[in-house]
């Protein structure tokens, strides 16, 4: 093994360009590959003492930050677990992989290699304890890890083998606030907790915030146990420790949303002095303001261990021999969240956040079964309906603007949208262009609606299909950009999109007319034809546009036809439309009930069934009569 490590050392040394990459020519470079301990927590924003939160109780992470490096601008590329973890695993944005929709289980391309495979090839013993949630259907965790289980541990490695070990805690997960702890049992007082300006200070909101801080404290204690275990084994001086949260959370408008609250994560590195050449700054305890995001993790791991970074990877190494210059932007995305469709993309630089909403006709606070288990969001909705919310708090229950722009330095809770402020027109144009450049460069699969892409893919990986020459991604992108601008002068262009041979372009044509609302009346005939389209997604959007134009009969015919479609995601989309237009006529109710009756499965993981169950409840019918199997 020593010969192996020496050969890797010399390869690393030569590959690095000698002293240029290293922090100092005087820093010795160890022969041994470092152990790497990767500690992750679920659903928590950087509400930690080391990030300046004086209400938080996080002594272990505060100490880790004092011994290492705290990244102030670290981001999850997706604000929810499975797409975020898909990006972490592959080093490719999940929306480029075709895996951006929550729990969608589409295949991974053979071109894209999970990072444990690289590490094992380099000689690491790799363990994962034990969260996977990779959002794909063709990865067997037992094949990519040496051990992936609740007993997986670096202690089980051969004595002379370096380890890469992941430990994940779900203590701070969203579900931790679904069941309320009595106020007198909380360690953090609901009366003392800070309530962000976008949240109303209802008793339930204050309680859930306080309970969440308790859970973050418990999470910190677990991190401390893992760090102590490393210390007790005498391995701290040979082990690089990564700690990060898997996305923001957990109260409403954080997890699932491409704001700071949903994507900004705690990220701390502790690097032993033995590997000082990897230090991002000279002194430990430093804060690093480089923009980093999850897509950067795979190239950074490869850079640390001296493995050349493949061209297909989409991130930037922020440590090691292949470290890049600081990037100008970090990028985020949102697709379907369980049973609810929405599509957003976001760009973050050091100061500003830009958000492009590709479905601006949807409210932020769409009813989502799991999200609405929290007492806090239910109280927020009730407060809004009772007229008890101010403008900032009411925005969550209204439709979205096409573009959002925030000065995050002066407006950290992202309340004041600057997109229409002429003083920021240059910033808006720059970041709008950055978003378009990014989604074009990575061949973002999200611009093909889900049911349509299922039919096109025929079981193949979308990453490959987008690079096969069979899809004109640039034309689809252009249609999406024009359609979502919501400009009446583009109505003829939108009509022409409905005549395209490409179903995705027709979808964006229909979407643009939906966004125009009453101003799309001159396109009524074209929309009526679109209710017979071969693409169910086009039918759904055209039906919604027609319904809003008063053409309710033909709109309902289109939706009823889609409810009989074999594609689960076509049906789920139609059910979203039925809910949003508040349609509950006898024929629509009968169509939904027939769909439920003929379903092969009625489990919670069938998102058309989740959407249908909500409609049954909304219509004040008895869900038990329909034999849903919704065990959680």
Q: Which positions ≥6 away from 364 have C-beta within 8 Å? A: 253, 257, 395, 396, 397, 398, 400
Q: Which of 116, 127, 69, 71 is nearest to 90 (CA)?
A: 116
Q: Is residue 436 part of a domain?
A: no
Specify whether 494 is located in the same domain as 531: yes
How many domains, the chain?
A: 3
Are 349 and 291 found together in one domain?
no
Over residues 130-136, mean pLDDT:
97
Asked if pLDDT for residue 10 goes beyond 60, the answer is no
Are 136 and 224 members of one domain? yes
State the pLDDT confidence band at 23, using cuts at 50, 70 and 90: very low
CA distances from 102 to 78, 95, 244 (A): 10, 11, 21
- 297 lies in the same domain as 354: no
Mean confidence (pLDDT) of the chain: 95
| Domain-embedded: residue 204 | no
Residue 394 is assigned to a structural domain of this protein: yes
- Write down the pLDDT at residue 29: 78
Pair 294, 217 in one domain: yes
pTM value > 0.85: yes
Q: Which of the four pLDDT bands, split at 50, 70 and 90, describes residue 504?
A: very high
Residues 422 and 489 in one domain: no
CA distances for 387 relative to 200, 217, 390, angstroms: 11, 35, 8
Same domain, 479 and 594: yes
Query: What pLDDT does residue 26 have?
Result: 56
Residues 285, 349 share a domain: no
What DSSP state is assigned to residue 184? G
Contact assessment for residue 333 and residue 345, using Cβ atoms and an 8 Å cutoff: yes
323 and 364 part of one domain: no
Active site residues: 81
* Residues 57, 187: Cα–Cα separation, whole Å: 10
**349 and 236 together in one domain:** no
Query: Does residue 333 form part of some domain?
Result: no
Residue 438 lies in a domain: no
CA distance 149 to 401: 44
Summarize pLDDT for 526-561 with one digit per residue, the tens. 999 999 999 999 999 999 999 999 999 999 999 999
Please check whether residue 616 lies inside any domain of the structure: yes
Last residue of some domain: 428, 460, 484?
428
* pLDDT at residue 30 tops 90: no
How many residues in total does the chain contain?
Answer: 632
Cα dihedral 269, 270, 276, 278, rounded to 10, equals -20
pLDDT score of 1 more than 60? no
Domain presence at residue 216:
yes
Q: What's the rounded Cα separation, in Å, for the pair 531 and 537?
A: 10
CA–CA dist 269, 484 (Å, integer): 41
pLDDT over threshold 70, residue 632: no
Q: Structural domain of residue 315, as residue ranges?
A: 2-186+212-327
Q: What is the 3-state secondary structure (H, E, C) of 444-512?
A: CHHHCCHHHHHHHHCCCCHHHHCCCCCCCHHHHHHHHHHHHCCCHHHHHHHHHHCCCCCHHHHHHHHHH
The pLDDT of residue 190 is 98
Q: What are phi and psi of 49, to 5 degrees?
A: -55, -40
Residue 48: predicted pLDDT: 98
Q: Is the pLDDT of residue 160 over 90?
A: no
pLDDT of 604 reads 84
| pLDDT at position 271 | 98
The residue from 428, 448, 464 where one domain ends is 428
- Residue pLDDT, tens place only, 345-391: 999 999 999 999 999 999 999 999 999 999 999 999 999 999 999 99
User: What percent of the chain has pLDDT above 70?
Assistant: 96
Cα–Cα nearest to 181, from 173, 189, 169: 189
Instruction: State the pLDDT at residue 14.
Output: 37
For 222-276, write each residue's pLDDT tens digit: 999 999 999 999 999 999 999 999 999 999 999 999 999 999 999 999 999 999 9
Please check whether residues 126 and 72 belong to one and the same domain.
Answer: yes
At residue 586, the pLDDT reads 98
Q: Which two tokens stand for residue 105?
A: 């289980």
CATH code assigned at 37: 3.40.720.10
Last residue of a domain, one of 267, 300, 327: 327
**Residues 376 and 517 both lie in one domain:** no
pLDDT at 11 over 80: no
Residue 243: burial class (beta carbons within 10 Å; 0-12, 13-18, 19+): buried
Q: Please give the DSSP secondary-structure letter assigned to residue 363.
A: B
Band of the pLDDT at 21, cuts 50, 70, 90? very low
CATH no. for residue 591?
Answer: 1.25.10.10
CA distance 257 to 364: 8
**What pLDDT is attached to residue 13?**
38
pLDDT in tens, 419-474: 999 999 999 999 999 999 999 999 999 999 999 999 999 999 999 999 999 999 99
In this predicted structure, what is the pLDDT of residue 439? 98
Quick check: is 481 in a domain?
yes
Supply φ then ψ for residue 29, to 5 degrees. Answer: -110, 115
């Amino acid at each position: 093994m020593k010969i192996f490590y020496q050969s890797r050392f010399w390869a690393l040394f030569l590959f690095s360009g000698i002293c240029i990459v290293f922090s100092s020519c005087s820093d010795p470079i160890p022969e041994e590959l470092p152990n790497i301990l990767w500690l992750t927590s679920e659903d928590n924003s950087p509400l930690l003492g080391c990030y300046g939160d004086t209400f938080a109780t996080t002594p272990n992470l505060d100490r880790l930050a004092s011994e290492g490096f705290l990244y102030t601008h670290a981001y999850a590329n997706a604000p929810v677990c499975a797409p975020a973890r898909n990006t972490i695993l592959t080093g490719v944005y999940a929306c480029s992989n075709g895996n951006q929709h929550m729990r969608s289980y589409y295949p991974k391309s053979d071109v894209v290699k999970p990072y444990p495979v690289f590490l094992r090839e380099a000689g690491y013993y790799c363990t994962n304890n034990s969260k996977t949630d990779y959002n794909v259907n063709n990865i067997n965790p037992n094949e990519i890890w040496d051990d992936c289980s609740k007993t997986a541990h670096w202690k089980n490695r051969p004595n002379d083998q370096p380890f890469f070990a992941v430990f994940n805690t779900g203590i701070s997960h969203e579900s931790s606030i679904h069941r309320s702890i009595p106020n007198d049992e909380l360690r953090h007082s609901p009366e003392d907790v800070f309530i962000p300006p976008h949240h109303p200070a209802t008793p339930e909101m204050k309680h859930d915030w306080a309970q969440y801080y308790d859970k973050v404290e418990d999470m910190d204690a677990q991190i401390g146990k893992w760090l102590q275990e490393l210390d007790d084994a005498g391995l701290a001086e040979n082990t690089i420790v990564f700690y990060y949260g898997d996305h923001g959370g957990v109260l409403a408008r954080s997890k699932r949303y491409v704001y700071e609250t949903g994507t900004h994560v705690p990220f701390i590195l502790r690097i032993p002095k033995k590997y000082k050449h990897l230090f991002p700054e000279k002194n430990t305890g430093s804060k690093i303001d480089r923009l980093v995001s999850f897509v950067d993790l795979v190239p950074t791991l490869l850079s640390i261990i001296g493995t050349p970074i493949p061209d297909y990877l989409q991130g930037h190494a922020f440590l090691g021999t292949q470290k890049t210059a600081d990037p100008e932007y970090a990028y985020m995305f949102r697709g379907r969240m369980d049973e609810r469709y929405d599509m957003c993309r976001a760009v973050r630089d050091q100061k500003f956040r830009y958000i492009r909403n590709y479905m601006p006709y949807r409210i932020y606070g769409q009813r989502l079964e799991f999200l609405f288990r929290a007492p806090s969001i239910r109280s927020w909705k009730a407060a809004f309906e009772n007229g008890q919310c101010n403008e900032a708090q009411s925005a969550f229950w209204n439709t979205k603007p096409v573009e959002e722009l925030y000065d995050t330095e002066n407006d950290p809770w992202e309340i004041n949208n600057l997109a229409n402020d002429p003083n920021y027109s240059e910033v808006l144009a720059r970041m709008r262009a950055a978003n378009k450049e990014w989604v074009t460069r990575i061949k973002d699969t999200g611009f093909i609606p889900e049911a349509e892409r299922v039919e096109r893919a025929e079981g193949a990986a979308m990453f490959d299909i987008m690079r096969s020459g069979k899809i004109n991604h640039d034309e689809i992108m252009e249609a999406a950009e024009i359609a979502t601008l919501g400009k009446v002068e583009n109505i003829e262009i939108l009509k022409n999109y409905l005549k395209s041979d490409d179903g995705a372009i027709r979808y964006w044509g229909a979407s643009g007319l939906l966004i125009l609302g009453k101003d799309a009346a001159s396109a009524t005939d074209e929309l009526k034809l679109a209710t017979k389209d071969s693409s169910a997604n086009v039918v759904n959007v055209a039906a919604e546009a027609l319904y809003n134009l008063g053409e309710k009969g033909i709109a309902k015919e289109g939706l009823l036809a889609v409810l009989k479609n074999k594609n689960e995601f076509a049906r789920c989309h139609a059910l979203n439309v039925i809910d949003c237009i508040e349609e509950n006529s006898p024929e629509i109710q009968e169509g939904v009930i027939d769909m439920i009756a003929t379903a092969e499965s009625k489990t919670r993981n069938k998102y058309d069934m989740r959407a249908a169950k909500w409609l049954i409840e909304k219509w004040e019918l008895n869900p038990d009569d329909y034999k849903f199997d919704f065990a959680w």
